[in-house]
Structure 1
Amino acid sequence: MPSAPSQPRLRRPGWSLALLALGHLIISLDFTIVYVALPDIAADIGFTPHSLQWVVTAYAVLYGGFLLLGGRLSDLLGRRRMFVLGMTLYGTSSLLGGLATTPAVLLAARGLQGLGGAVLFPAVLALVNTAFTEGRQRDRALTIWAMAGAAGLTAGSLAGGVLTQTLGWQAVFHVNVPLAALGIAAAFALLPADGRATRGSIDVPGTLTGTAGVTLLIYAVAHGSEAGWTQTEVPAAAALAVLLLAAFVRIQARGRNPLMPLRLFRNRSLSGAVVVILVFGLTMNAVPYFLTLYYQDVLGFSALETGLAFLGSTLSITAGSFLSERLIQRTGTRGALLTGIAVNALGAALLAPGLRAEGSVLTTLAGVVVVGLGMGSTYTAMWNAAGTGVAEHEQGLASGVASTALQVGTAAGLALLVAVANDDLAGLSGEALRAASAEGMRTAVYTLGAVMLLAALAALKLPRPRARLTARGTPSQPAPAGDTAELHHAD
């Protein structure tokens, strides 16, 4: 496929980066902002305990399933166009969700939000990776961008609690409407205009098999954890997903113009980052979920109190993002990732003992702070690695591949960890249920911390940083991205 023209640089890089960070913040917020509001949504609209989980799952299934296609369309049709389309989908679906009076309408709105995320995320990350020069400038841009997204995972719980308590659950949807409108207006003023769209280059068989396969895989994992793994639709969806994904890989290997060229994975930085991102989704993305349950179900916090309890986590994630930038400059992306992975595991080991029935915010504070530092530093470094050495005209696709790994990991990890946490809760109530719930959460957090360490094996496969030569020919500090020397020829 012919290369797309070079992406124009930004005229107002500071404001443009703020807009891209806003797009990432909206996506991350919508994962967790509904958590605290779920009891109020169930009571007001009439969800059953079984169907309520689909308020979260509908978003995850559509988001994860369409990321590959969203990334490819970003490269072919233009990143600003897809940014505007994604913001439009978010604004429309959020308005619909806030006005919903039946479960069907609310679930449709959440699914449409997920589709908006699948369109928006690859465009946003590709714009960061192409509009800022690789090295220090891109490291700083990715730090700000990643900080907005990582903080959004916990800030969503904070915002959800405040909005639900003060304005009602509808506000967790309506808050996106003015943000999306602002994003659409600002896009035309700040983001570089797209050139002519590339036509006739979409791999239709690959798109159909890949999108359907990933969607069914996430559906099977998410639905199986709630409905039971022996329900007929769960193994059927899983088996069909495996067949479709096998067909997808075959098409990508043999097709003329594949949706996801397998040669991308010869880039050691991208392939290593994808594995780290998958493990991060399997493990650390479940922490806000378990903290929400602990604060509400074990400690009995209100929606507002639960939201405020996440303030420490939000601040520590922000600090971790800034720490990651310093580490990347000093040790390269590889070293920053290894440090972040170790801090995540340490944080889980500190957090788990504090999750007890007689505990409090203080018993979890040390673990929450250290986990936040680890999440912030890892999140920034793993996206830095995913974009390193990727050709400019394939940045959207690389973003889609990496973010698909995150969503598959998140869906699978949450399903498995919830099963671990809820293993011994049958037939319990009252104080016995509180104590058993806390014990199950401790086991789940210990488990996710141990599994997170496996990401170090993938991080070790990233290229080592290479020293640059100064004007006098003597070695200087490691290259800012640390990983670019052998990657520009990987494709």
Structure 2
Amino acid sequence: MSAVATTTISEAIPLEPYDAKHTPIPHKSTIASTPRTPSQAQSSISNFGTPDDERSIALAQTPPPPLSKSRLFLTIFQPSLINFFFSFTNGVITVGLPLIARDVHLPRSLYLWPSSVYGLTSGSMLLIAGAIADIIGVRGFEIFGVTFLGIFTVACGLANTGIQLVVFRAMQGFGTAIHLPSSVALVAAAVPSGKARNIGFACLGLSQPLGFSVGLVASGIMVETIGWRAAFYIAGGAKLVAAAVAFWALPKVKRNADTSGRSVWKQIGTDVDWIGGLIASGGLALLSYVLAVLSADLSTIRSAGTASLLAVSLVLLLAFPFWMRIQERAGRPALIPNSIWKNFPFTSTCIMVALSYGVMNAVEIFSSLYFQEVQSVSTQTTSLYLLPNLITGVLINLSVGIFVDRIPAKWLVSSSAIICAASPLMMALVPPSWKYWYLQFWAQIFAPFSGDVLFTVGLIIVSDNFPEKTQALAGAVFNTVAQFGSSLGIGVCQVVALGVMGDSGSVGHGGGTETAFDDDPTALLNGYRAAFWTMFGYMIICAVIAVVGLRKAGKVGLKKE
């Protein structure tokens, strides 16, 4: 599935190492909309500079020799391949969901759980995983994560009950949470800045829609021939092979030096903001869980348990910035320093990524349900109907990686958001009796524009806002926003759809049955149209944020000297 803002990098000041006990504040000069004098730049970093002895050690270190072109290729190809295969399984879930659910006896009220629980677990663990990866080394952590991911991908194919499938998909999410920040850090550390790194980030992005598109087609064929389980066996086996090859293929990225002589476990215990990670992850996970529960039955909002979980999630999310402030004042590591949110392009990027990824994934899922349950299209035909969406996504990612440094990000992001907004608008207006080629084809073409443009643009700006030694955390921040946005988008759209279906007399709206979707095509159509209108509203908001938040931003992805 998915399973991804601008900055001007003119007159950028190289990032200096800092004490691990100090907060990893990014240098604002890398995102300044206007050039600053050297004195101003020096002043901006004086508050979190390093001790003289550590600075001397850092300056004395010689950079590693550049990688050969073949090693650079493998460094980009290996994590992109993993992205391809975890997106492949997401594509299988999206199209094959009705048949898979019947095979494992998954209640219709839990239809979206194999997709949403994956985003919930991966999104909730990304920040902690990114912080740990920066300490213990991204190469080893990546290999461990890919191995873990491969094991539970195979396990999904072995699932015999709906509960087993949901649990194994949740474990897949944990493996993905380890892989995603590590892959970003590997590319950032091994690939030089400029066009090469832009293409590297773009490949991480394009591999996901490419894998998803292959998963769509393969699912339509496998479900009706050799069975859906074979898709998980193939994907899981490929991940395990890739993990073995990674021992040779991936470069040895130097682990962050610790001058105090502490062991790795000691650093993990003291240099990771565990409390901040638990607060943020717990708040996001609980909120996503509540949305998933509500997507099954809106009447649960009146239960004491659901209301309590919702209240706890909001309290945790509101407590996070206060904890960051306490950590910064005490000179202890802060997971995501509050000061970073003062950078308007960065904050705008995170909001837009969340909105765009929510819409991108919701369009895919609700289009699949629309084709199969409203228009009564077969699984294989549905996969072909969704294929233009993914092919367009691949082309967009590749194009953005090549040309992102030539077009001002303000126009790149805002125009892509407007184009993307046309997709749910068409799906909301098209009569079910119309042929696919009239509007639905174009809706699938326009759907990935915003999310895929923002993957490369957003990853560049987030990476530029974090020091080199915390690039895994940078990748974790980006992917946390994307994963949470995906879960939030799907959950909110499903809640809206259920609410409208309930107004239309849907038995699944607190009716005491296991059915979250009414079999009446009219009720389904009204609910799905309401969901598409919600997506349209999201993209209009995204376009406005792009114009306002990036108004002073220039081009991103420029080479740093």
- Could you say whether these structures have the same fold, taking a TM-score greater than 0.5 normalized by the shorter chain as the test? yes
Matched, 1:13 2:72: yes
Q: Partner of 1:96 in structure 2?
A: 155
Matched, 1:219 2:307: no
Matched, 1:46 2:116: no
* Structure-2 change in CA distance of 1:169 and 1:397 (3 Å): same
Residues 155, 168 of structure 2: 8 Å contact kept = yes
Q: How does 1:281-296 map to 2 (within 5 A)?
A: 281-296=357-372
Matched, 1:242 2:301: no
Which of residues 23, 35, 60 in structure 1 aligns to 2:82? 23
Q: Partner of 1:258 in structure 2?
A: 334
* Structure-2 change in CA distance of 1:284 and 1:196 (3 Å): closer
Say which SS state the counterpart of residue 47 (structure 1) adopts.
coil
Residues 151, 240 of structure 2: 8 Å contact kept = no
Matched, 1:386 2:462: yes
Which of residues 186, 189, 205 in structure 1 aligns to 2:275? 205
Over the residues paired in the alignment, what is the CA RMSD in angstroms? 2.9
Q: Partner of 1:454 in structure 2?
A: 541
Say which SS state the counterpart of residue 163 (structure 1) adopts.
helix
Q: Normalised by the size of structure 1, how large is the TM-score?
A: 0.87
Matched, 1:397 2:473: yes
Residue 182 of structure 1, CA deviation: 2.6
Residues 153, 168 of structure 2: 8 Å contact kept = yes
Residues 137, 254 of structure 2: 8 Å contact kept = yes
Say which SS state the counterpart of residue 228 (structure 2) adopts.
coil
* Structure-2 change in CA distance of 1:9 and 1:159 (3 Å): farther
- Residues in 2 aligned to 1:47 and 1:348: alpha-carbon distance in whole angstroms: 28
- Residues in 2 aligned to 1:53 and 1:230: alpha-carbon distance in whole angstroms: 21
Which one is further off, 411-420 or 288-297?
411-420
Q: Partner of 2:231 in structure 1?
A: 172
* Structure-2 change in CA distance of 1:274 and 1:234 (3 Å): same
Say which SS state the counterpart of residue 127 (structure 1) adopts.
helix
Matched, 1:411 2:487: yes
Q: How does 1:271-290 map to 2 (within 5 A)?
A: 271-290=347-366
Residues 282, 412 of structure 1: 8 Å contact kept = yes
Unmatched 5+ stretches in structure 2: 1-17, 21-57, 257-263, 509-516
Which one is further off, 324-333 or 169-178?
324-333
Q: Identity of paired residues, percent?
A: 24
Q: Normalised by the size of structure 2, how large is the TM-score?
A: 0.77
- Residues in 1 aligned to 2:373 and 2:345: alpha-carbon distance in whole angstroms: 41
Residue 464 of structure 1, CA deviation: 4.1
Residue 336 of structure 1, CA deviation: 1.9
Q: Partner of 2:448 in structure 1?
A: 372
Residues 345, 453 of structure 1: 8 Å contact kept = yes
Which one is further off, 362-371 or 150-159?
150-159
Q: Partner of 2:250 in structure 1?
A: 191
Say which SS state the counterpart of residue 135 (structure 2) adopts.
helix
Write the letter of the residue equivalent to 1:319.
L
Write the letter of the residue equivalent to 1:413.
G
Residue 120 of structure 1, CA deviation: 0.8
Q: Which has the larger radius of gyration?
A: 2
- Residues in 1 aligned to 2:306 and 2:386: alpha-carbon distance in whole angstroms: 34
* Structure-2 change in CA distance of 1:10 and 1:160 (3 Å): farther
Say which SS state the counterpart of residue 358 (structure 2) adopts.
helix
Matched, 1:444 2:520: no
Matched, 1:71 2:147: no
- Residues in 1 aligned to 2:556 and 2:487: alpha-carbon distance in whole angstroms: 33
Residues 216, 387 of structure 2: 8 Å contact kept = no
* Structure-2 change in CA distance of 1:7 and 1:342 (3 Å): farther
Say which SS state the counterpart of residue 252 (structure 2) adopts.
coil
Q: Partner of 2:433 in structure 1?
A: 358
Write the letter of the residue equivalent to 1:257.
P
Say which SS state the counterpart of residue 447 (structure 2) adopts.
helix
Residues 95, 174 of structure 1: 8 Å contact kept = yes
Residues 8, 192 of structure 1: 8 Å contact kept = no
Say which SS state the counterpart of residue 397 (structure 2) adopts.
helix
Write the letter of the residue equivalent to 1:212.
G
- Residues in 1 aligned to 2:288 and 2:518: alpha-carbon distance in whole angstroms: 34
Say which SS state the counterpart of residue 505 (structure 2) adopts.
coil
Residues 198, 557 of structure 2: 8 Å contact kept = yes
Offset from partner CA, 1:344-395 (integer Å, 9 cap, x none): 12333344333x3213432311221122344433333232332234311122
Write the letter of the residue equivalent to 2:436.
V
- Residues in 1 aligned to 2:255 and 2:344: alpha-carbon distance in whole angstroms: 32
Write the letter of the residue equivalent to 2:505.
A
Unmatched 5+ stretches in structure 1: 467-478
* Structure-2 change in CA distance of 1:78 and 1:162 (3 Å): farther
Q: Partner of 2:198 in structure 1?
A: 139
Residue 194 of structure 1, CA deviation: 4.0
Q: Partner of 1:2 in structure 2?
A: 19
Matched, 1:128 2:187: yes
- Residues in 2 aligned to 1:207 and 1:315: alpha-carbon distance in whole angstroms: 36
- Residues in 2 aligned to 1:319 and 1:150: alpha-carbon distance in whole angstroms: 10
* Structure-2 change in CA distance of 1:465 and 1:258 (3 Å): closer
Residue 9 of structure 1, CA deviation: 4.9
Offset from partner CA, 1:174-211 (integer Å, 9 cap, x none): 22222212321232222222445752312222232222
